[in-house]
Amino acid sequence: MNYLKIAWRNLWRNKRRTAITSASILFAVFFAVLMRSYQLGFYDHMIKNAIESFSGFLQVQHVDFQEDPSLDNTFPCNDSMMLLIKKTEGIKAVVPRVETFALASSGNQTKGAVILGIDPAKEREFSDPENFLVRYRITKDVLMKLKTDTRLSEEIKNKLDLISNNSYSKIGTIAMDLDVDEKKYSRDLEIIASTGHFPGRMLTNEDDGVLVSDKLSKFLNIIIGDTLILLGQGYHGSTAAGIYPVRGIVKIPNPELDNKLVYMNLPYTQYFADLGNRVTNIAINLHDNRDKSMLEHQEIINNKISDPEIVVKNWKEFNEVLMQQIESDNQSGKAFLALLYFIIFFGIFGTVLMMIYERYKEFGVMVSVGMRKTRLAIVLIYEMLLMGLLGVLSGIVISLPFLFVLHFNPIRLTGDMAQVMEDMGFEAIMPIAWLDFYILWQGLVVAFMVILACLYPLRKVFALKEVDALRA
């Protein structure tokens, strides 16, 4: 206890030195917490948007569908089952779907495609294909008209080749590809949009047409009003074939899906594959998307259905590829954080080094008058621990208001970055993770760095020579 009192008094003999050392630890904790909260917040934001806007956090599937995703492993879906799930407390939205594969053909071109049968009205709560409808397409004919249009500025005309053969859902994306300011060149952009207007529309609940992904439509050389021929295998090996009019083109943010996706009305998909009222899955979104809530709802719905051939799976179980991608990206984030810790450590070590050399003569005097080096080392350790504790706690306390404010009022992105995020279907914000154990972990890591920084002062104390120290 006496050592602790001496250490505490020593801290305040030179307030400026203590303030500098504690401040370096404080800012280390503050920046580490802020950076990690941005990383976790961004991961969470991306996960929730990707899952919530397409696959759902939970899916009802046939028990064998995960291992063998064929139409033979489907299950009957009726209004009573949908109502049973939807009436569960905490459920935000429920949509039935049929996912199958077929050869898509137009003219002499044929390609394998994923057929996604949807309920257009309900699907607006999930993937919302209407948001990705191609509304402007810059074909060769459109490009020629624009280059001869006297209303366009010469600067824009010189950049038109940058958007040749591109498809767009929003005017802002055209501005981004042309690398121009949307407000400044709004008139030119409106001319480009009106010239390249693409008259697609969303499916209705009674529609017998299809929506074709952008890259697939270009490969098949298909446009609005053309017919798409689909040939595949239906339920229990039956032949699935049909001819469908194209109602619209959708530009899917995922390049892999954009190469092969076809949206079709759910009843027509079931008729195409001879499924009757069967579906491949029922996608479910929740009001509370946290893991604990998700697992609770998974168990509740499993108990409600109580069918041995039907199982409820969470997104981590049926989307293992995304989980691996997230984990890989998270490791990259940790590596970047380790680099920050490396910089922080040398910041702390620099202030400790300054403190030791300022007090080197003082240490020499204390050892000369009879103080043992062991006791001096213990006092020094207590001083470092007290300064570390002061800095860590202060850093955490100061970071909390920032986390609280930025969590509920995230920074909104602007310019090209915002446009990229919105085109991918994500809200253009920089979210902050909510308070969790990651805050304490940052404090503990910085505290560990403070302990490591103690090793040099201890070495200096034990290697101290009184004569040299007194002359310092």
Q: 424-438, pLDDT tens digit by residue?
A: 556 667 778 777 777
Average pLDDT value for residue range 298-305 = 90
Contact 288, 86 (CB under 8 A): no
Contact 42, 407 (CB under 8 A): no
Average pLDDT value for residue range 400-428 = 72
Q: Given the structure tokens 């898509």, which residue do they identify?
A: 104
The whole-model pTM stands at: 0.72
Q: What is the pLDDT of residues 31-73, one digit of tens each?
A: 888 888 888 887 777 777 777 777 888 999 999 998 888 899 9
Q: What is the pLDDT of residue 176?
A: 82
For the chain, percent of residues with pLDDT exceeding 70 = 94
pLDDT at 116 over 90: yes
Model confidence band, residue 347 (pLDDT cutoffs 50, 70, 90): confident
Q: How far apart are CA 292 and CA 288, in angstroms?
A: 9
Q: How far apart are CA 3 and CA 376, in angstroms?
A: 9
Q: How far apart are CA 105 and CA 243, in angstroms?
A: 10
Model confidence band, residue 389 (pLDDT cutoffs 50, 70, 90): confident
Q: How far apart are CA 48 and CA 349, in angstroms?
A: 40
**Domain boundary assignment for the chain:** 2-50+322-471, 55-315
pLDDT at 345 over 90: no
Q: Pick the residue with more confidence: 439 or 282?
A: 282
Model confidence band, residue 420 (pLDDT cutoffs 50, 70, 90): low
Q: What is the pLDDT of residue 334?
A: 75
> What rounded mean pLDDT belongs to the chain?
84
Q: Which H or E run contains 313?
A: strand 310-314
Q: How far apart are CA 180 and CA 214, in angstroms?
A: 24
Q: What is the pLDDT of residue 220?
A: 94
For the chain, percent of residues with pLDDT exceeding 90 = 27
Q: What is the pLDDT of residues 97-106, one digit of tens each?
A: 999 999 999 9
Residue from 120, 283, 115, 110 nearest 213 by CA: 115
pLDDT at 237 over 90: no
Q: What is the pLDDT of residue 340?
A: 75
Name the token pair of 386. Answer: 């007290």
Model confidence band, residue 215 (pLDDT cutoffs 50, 70, 90): very high
Mean pLDDT check: name the lowest of 134-138, 284-288, 424-428.
424-428
Model confidence band, residue 132 (pLDDT cutoffs 50, 70, 90): confident
Q: 302-340: b or e for each residue (b if 16 or more CB lie within 10 Å)? A: beebeeeebbbbbbbebbeebeeebeeeeeebeeebeee
Q: Pick the residue with more confidence: 334 or 186?
A: 186
Provide the CA 117 distance to its chain's centre, in angstroms.
26
Model confidence band, residue 242 (pLDDT cutoffs 50, 70, 90): very high
Contact 168, 251 (CB under 8 A): yes
The count of other CB atoms within 10 Å of the CB of residue 451 is 12
Residue 103: strand pairing partners:
112, 231
Average pLDDT value for residue range 328-344 = 76
Name the token pair of 370. Answer: 């009879």
Q: What is the pLDDT of residue 62?
A: 92
Name the token pair of 64. Answer: 């064998």
